[in-house]
DNA sequence: AAAGATTGTTGTTGACGACAACAATTGTTC
DNA sequence: GAACAATTGTTGTCGTCAACAACAATCTTT
């Protein structure tokens, strides 16, 4: 256990403490229970809250190597498919090519990725990991696996797998 | 079916067409199948993609009334708990009070919400729906229910309920 | 009464999705 | 083969959103 989820990032309010900082719970409304009414039946709301939690845990877990979820996804795809064009990566990950430009600029500055001009199509760049990039990615994957264990601890291992099945059509 | 998810918002590329606009599929890599490698096992990636889809459908479905998910959640909570302070609403929904200020400014401009100075604590504002706000919220809920049916169509009704169960601890 | 905490507010920063325009290059069509 | 259309990478803008810092007004605590 411990403070795994408190490093560089957000303010993770110690889960569900909800006291007014000095120990006195808010007594304004009813009993402290604020109803969500219709929101409880909305998948989008639950998913949004979960997404925020998962994002924060990922950032915290990979804070030491300064890799954010999007960067990780880009490195992973390039690592698994060397030579892809920026367009192909952007399409596959569902991010805009305009945004990928900046992501790659950053990763290239850190010597993790190389842009090589394609000879078959001189408009596009073939993307490759550098040696340093491949070594780093191996380490990132270890940390990402640790993050994934946090998720399993949070919602339950079987629930996590079920969730992956349910959402498999979105990958 | 039909083009329900194409109104004001994004560019929904007709699902998984993936052809280069003129009918010739990209042949650069392997066979068109770009592996995601490790990403497939990450709940965060699937959740992110799903969250984007669900957000877009919500925005499209409620485009006619110009209500975004966050606005809807604020209206719902205020409607179910009249008199809440901004701080209480922000805490309950997990949004920052700084951000809630602008959200309420917008909703108040549209005469959907009123800020009333609390007599017990003159720092805080008691939040209420206007009559117009309550009537509007009823309509918004109908549209939100329609959106929720879209979700059920997309991932399956039983999967949706299971997902709500799995993520119930985040609401 | 003085010190500290809370509430609403304003402003800044950075990540992100959407969009528009551009140069270079490729593909298509007549 | 020349004119036109489409694609790729790039730059820039706009709006949303989370995080954070600072402030005045107002409780709360000591």
Closest CB to B94: pick one of A49, A162, A171.
A49
Within-domain flag for A88: yes
The predicted pLDDT at position A32 comes to 53
CATH of the domain at B103: 1.10.10.10
What mean pLDDT is predicted for residues B94-111? Answer: 95
- Residue pair B151/B54 in contact (Cβ under 8 Å)? The answer is yes
Query: Which residue in chain A has the smallest CA separation from B29?
Result: A84
B79 vs A contacts (CB less than 8 Å): 37
Contact B76 A36 (CB under 8 A): yes
Alpha-carbon distance of A112 to B33, in angstroms, equals 24
Helix runs in chain A, H state only: 43-61, 69-80, 86-93, 97-109, 131-155, 157-166
Residue with tokens 């560089």: A8
Domain count along chain A? 1
* Chain C bases closer than 7 angstroms to a protein Cβ: 5-12, 15-21, 24-28
Q: Within 13 Å of residue B105, how many CA atoms lie on the same side as its CB?
A: 6
Within-domain flag for A95: yes
Ordered DSSP codes for A118-164: -SS-TTSEEEEE-HHHHHHHHHHHHHHHHHHHHHHHHH-HHHHHHHH
| Full residue range of the structural domain in which residue B132 is found | 40-170
Interface test with B, best of A11, A34, A97 (most B CBs within 10 A): A34
Contact B49 A148 (CB under 8 A): no
Contact B43 A163 (CB under 8 A): yes
Q: Which of the four pLDDT bands, split at 50, 70 and 90, describes residue B129?
A: very high
Within-domain flag for B20: no
- Contacts of strand C, CB cut-off 7 Å? A 20-22, 26, 68-70, 94-96, 98-99, 103, 121-123; B 9-11, 22, 24, 48, 52, 56, 85-87, 90, 97-98, 101, 104-105, 115, 121, 123-125
User: Tens place of pLDDT for every residue, chain A, 171 residues?
Assistant: 333 333 334 444 433 333 333 333 333 333 457 777 778 889 999 999 999 999 999 999 999 999 999 999 999 999 999 999 999 999 999 999 999 999 999 999 999 999 999 999 999 999 999 999 999 999 999 999 999 999 999 999 999 999 999 999 888
Neighbours of B21 (CB within 10 A): 6
């Amino acid at each position: 256990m411990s403070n795994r989820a408190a490093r560089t990032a957000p303010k993770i309010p110690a889960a569900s403490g909800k006291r007014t900082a000095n120990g006195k719970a808010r007594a304004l409304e009813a009993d402290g229970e604020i109803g969500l009414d219709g929101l409880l039946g909305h998948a989008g709301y639950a998913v949004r809250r979960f997404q925020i939690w998962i994002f924060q845990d990922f950032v915290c877990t990979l804070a030491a190597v300064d890799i954010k979820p999007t960067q990780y996804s880009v490195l992973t795809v390039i690592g698994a498919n060397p030579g892809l064009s920026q367009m192909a990566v952007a399409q596959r990950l569902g991010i805009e090519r305009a945004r990928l430009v900046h992501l790659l600029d950053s990763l290239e500055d850190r010597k993790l990725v190389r842009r090589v001009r394609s000879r078959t199509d001189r408009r596009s760049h073939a993307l490759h990991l550098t040696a340093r990039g491949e070594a780093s990615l191996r380490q990132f994957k270890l940390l990402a696996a640790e993050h994934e264990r946090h998720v399993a601890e949070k919602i339950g291992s079987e629930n996590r797998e079920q969730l992956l099945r349910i959402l498999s059509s979105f990958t």
